Amino acid sequence: MIEVKDVRKSFRDKAVLKGVNFVFETSKTNMIIGASGSGKTVLQKCMVGLIEVDQGEILFEGRNLTTMTPEARKELRQQVGMLFQGVALFDSMNVERNVMFPLDMFTDWDIKKKLERVNTVLERVGLTGTNKKFSNELSGGMRKRVGIARAVVLKPKYLFCDEPNSGLDPRTSMLIDKLIHEITIENQITTVINTHDMNSVMEIGENILYLEDGISEWKGSNKDLVFSKHQRLNDFIFASEFLKDAKDMRALETRGIIDDNRDMNEILKEGKIEPGKDEKNDK
Ligand SMILES: Nc1ncnc2c1ncn2[C@@H]1O[C@H](COP(=O)(O)OP(=O)(O)OP(=O)(O)O)[C@@H](O)[C@H]1O
Ligand SMILES: [Mg+2]
């Protein structure tokens, strides 16, 4: 579990994070959503210590990153896996060397043990046998898988993914989401995902933080989103009229007001579609 308490960060006189609060839960794919420039990447970077916060606490199982000694930070760093925006594989290294890199950095294992671990994680992400391939020989989806393998090779307790689906088609995106979700549960990882991808939010958004203008504006699950009446959140998530209608339909279905095998024409004729009610978290 990672708790973020009143985190603030400015660059010169530009306040980016203005008091962010959230609890990222263990064994869950926690998501940070929000418009471009809302501070998602800055928040993740603060959480892994790449950017120092101006104020606030970041607690890893109660241990405060912002006041840790450099030694304690180094130890914590070894429990953190990261999948960067754009993946950032080393072009000059093949798949095997890329995935082995964190083991080279942080363990004194012999080559046989390192190779065994590399092959285990490559198998887990569905890339058995690609050891000798270079980045330019891989598809976008394969590169993400290599990135995931590298991020989990040290068996992290915490996994940070910044836009893991950028540049992927919807089906490949879904497979990558499922993979991250499964690995999170299998290994009881606290996973933090920044995303723009609303398919991902609806598919694996178990615990969502919506950032707006530097504050934690809304919190909830993908199911809560369906019922949310928060106007700006809805406008952000369900950007098109089509999606807004789909959300209303889903809300009615979930409440049993209309059933799954509905006849659309009948429903439209009866004028049954009305927006949902009762969101505790909404404004
Ligand atoms: N090192 C920095 N120095 C100055 N300003 C920065 C720095 N890093 C980020 N910012 C500013 O902080 C704001 C938030 O940036 P951030 O990258 O966190 O947005 P984001 O929500 O991740 O956006 P996107 O969805 O486009 O990835 C932006 O206005 C950006 O210009
Ligand atoms: Mg970003």
Looking at 180, 198, 226, which one is the last position of a domain? 226
Per-residue pLDDT of the chain (283 residues; tens, 9 = 90+): 999 999 999 999 899 999 999 999 999 999 999 999 999 999 999 999 999 999 999 999 999 999 999 999 999 999 999 998 776 789 899 999 999 999 999 999 999 999 999 999 999 999 999 999 999 999 888 999 999 999 999 999 999 999 998 888 888 888 889 999 999 999 999 999 999 888 899 899 999 999 999 999 999 999 898 888 888 888 888 876 777 777 777 777 777 766 666 666 666 666 555 544 444 455 4
Tell me how far the alpha carbon of residue 166 lies from the centroid of ligand 2, in angstroms.
11
Domain identity same for 33 and 141:
yes
- The bound ligand whose nearest atom lies closest to the alpha carbon of 42 is 1
From 18, 38, 42, 51, the mutation candidate for ligand 1 (largest count of ligand atoms within 8 A of CB) is: 42
Residue 251: its pLDDT value, please?
75
183/176 Cα distance (integer angstroms):
11
Tell me how far the alpha carbon of residue 3 lies from the centroid of ligand 1, in angstroms.
22
Neighbours of ion ligand 2 (CB under 5 A): 40-41
Looking at 226, 243, 266, which one is the last position of a domain? 226
Tell me how far the alpha carbon of residue 45 lies from the centroid of ligand 2, in angstroms.
10
Residue 170: its pLDDT value, please?
86
Domain identity same for 136 and 260:
no
Report the candidate in 181, 127, 121 with the shortest Cα–Cα distance to residue 151. Answer: 121
Give the burial class of 251: count Cβ atoms within 10 A of its Cβ; 0-12 exposed, 13-18 middle, 19 or more buried: buried
Residue 7: its pLDDT value, please?
97
Domain identity same for 199 and 214:
yes
Residue 101: its pLDDT value, please?
95
Residue 280: its pLDDT value, please?
45
Report the candidate in 272, 237, 266, 233 with the shortest Cα–Cα distance to residue 252. Answer: 272
66/57 Cα distance (integer angstroms):
6
Tell me how far the alpha carbon of residue 16 lies from the centroid of ligand 1, in angstroms.
8
pTM: 0.86
- The bound ligand whose nearest atom lies closest to the alpha carbon of 37 is 1
* Distance from chain centroid for Cα 95: 23
Domain identity same for 196 and 265:
no
- The bound ligand whose nearest atom lies closest to the alpha carbon of 17 is 1
Cβ–Cβ under 8 Å, residues 162 and 151? no
CB of 37 closer than 6 angstroms to any ligand 1 atom: yes
From 7, 12, 40, the mutation candidate for ligand 1 (largest count of ligand atoms within 8 A of CB) is: 40
Ligand 1 atom nearest to 39, measured from its CA: 18
Looking at 185, 202, 226, which one is the last position of a domain? 226
Residue 277: its pLDDT value, please?
44
Domain identity same for 176 and 72:
yes
Count how many domains the chain has. 2
Nearest residue (CA) to ligand 1, atom 8: 42
How do residues 38-86 score in pLDDT, each as one tens digit?
Answer: 999 999 999 999 999 999 999 999 999 999 999 999 999 999 999 987 7
Domain identity same for 169 and 263:
no
Tell me how far the alpha carbon of residue 161 lies from the centroid of ligand 2, in angstroms.
10
Inter-CA distances, 270 with 154, 257, 267, 274, Å: 57, 13, 5, 11
Domain identity same for 163 and 276:
no
How far the first Cα of the chain sits from its last, in Å, is 28
Contacts of 278 (CB under 8 A, 6+ apart): 227
Residue 275: its pLDDT value, please?
46
Residue 155: its pLDDT value, please?
93
Residue located via tokens 């952000």: 236
Which residue segment(s) compose the domain that 105 sits in? 2-226
Domain identity same for 206 and 231:
no
39/212 Cα distance (integer angstroms):
8
Nearest residue (CA) to ligand 1, atom 5: 11
